[in-house]
Amino acid sequence: MCSFLWSLSEPLHHLHHKMGPYTITYFGVRGRCGAMRIMLADQGQEWKEILMDFADWTKGDLKASCVFGQLPKFEDGGLVLFQSNAILRHLGRNHDAYGKDGKEAARIDMMCDGVEDLRLKYGKMIYQEYDTGKDQYIKDLPNHLDKFEAVMAKNKTGFLVGDKPSFADYSLFEVLLNHLVLCSSCLDTSPSLKSFVEKMSARPKIKAFLGSDAYKKLPINGNGKQ
Ligand code: GTB
């Protein structure tokens, strides 16, 4: 296990005195924590990381204490949360990244669930059928990405819903970064998604985070495939 504080040069922590301190407990991969880390970085938040190695996880008693027996675990002061999308929603509420009203929030939920469907397909391919299923997965990809392209093109603001990033945008952005590693040309026929990735990548705090050694040294997935 190793633990450290993740912060950019100018933490804005004091502006959000009601929240945190935030702690993420997870394995040393991007995996189910990629989107929340990018979101925290972009929101100018500091957070503590506790990285578990898999051997300690299987030996120790942390698993038994986790609601679903899995990581990530997220702590916001005394609040303990599991399930990566519930954590993203919580951060959406804390940091005003959950739409301007109930209707926007409902559409943001819908888009987050759409990203989750893509994450599950991607995870199945990576963890269960990388050698036999990767080529077919890449062939089928436009069919999945087209749906996000259509929403992004229709909204015209550069975000999925509304005119600023929501937790669903951070999740989509992170899953697209992973897909670009899988297939560098996968956004060539999706101009709105391509521009979304470029603009998100250029946001100063995201750029600093993605360029940090702490981020770059984390593999995308737990089995080393990408
Ligand atoms: N729906 C949950 C969520 O979104 O948070 C899914 C959480 C989940 O799948 N957690 C996995 C886990 O805790 C880790 S993500 N597995 C351990 C267990 O079930 O006992 C995938 C993953 C697998 C392996 C590694 N690794 O070896 O480092 C890292 C991440």
pLDDT in tens, 144-187: 999 999 999 999 999 999 999 999 999 999 999 999 999 999 99
Pocket of ligand 1 (CB under 6 A): 27, 29, 31-32, 54, 63, 69-72, 83-85, 222
**The ligand 1 atom nearest the CA atom of 58:** 20
Q: What number is the average pLDDT over the span 100-125?
A: 98
Q: What number is the average pLDDT over the span 10-24?
A: 64
**The ligand 1 atom nearest the CA atom of 28:** 28
Residue of 1, 26, 27 to test ligand 1 pocket, by largest number of atoms within 8 Å of CB: 27
- Which pLDDT value is given to residue 18? 62
Q: Across all residues in the chain, what is the average pLDDT?
A: 94
Ligand 1 centroid, distance to 54 Cα (angstroms):
10
- Which pLDDT value is given to residue 114? 98
Q: How confident is the model at residue 15 (pLDDT cuts 50, 70, 90)?
A: very low
Q: What percent of the chain has pLDDT over 70?
A: 95
- Residue of 152, 83, 160 lying closest to 116 (CA atoms): 83
Ligand 1 centroid, distance to 72 Cα (angstroms):
7
- Which pLDDT value is given to residue 60? 85
Gap between the Cα atoms of 107 and 91, Å rounded: 17
Ligand 1 centroid, distance to 213 Cα (angstroms):
23
- Which residues are 23's β-sheet partners? 48, 75
Residue type, 197: V
3-state secondary structure of 73: strand
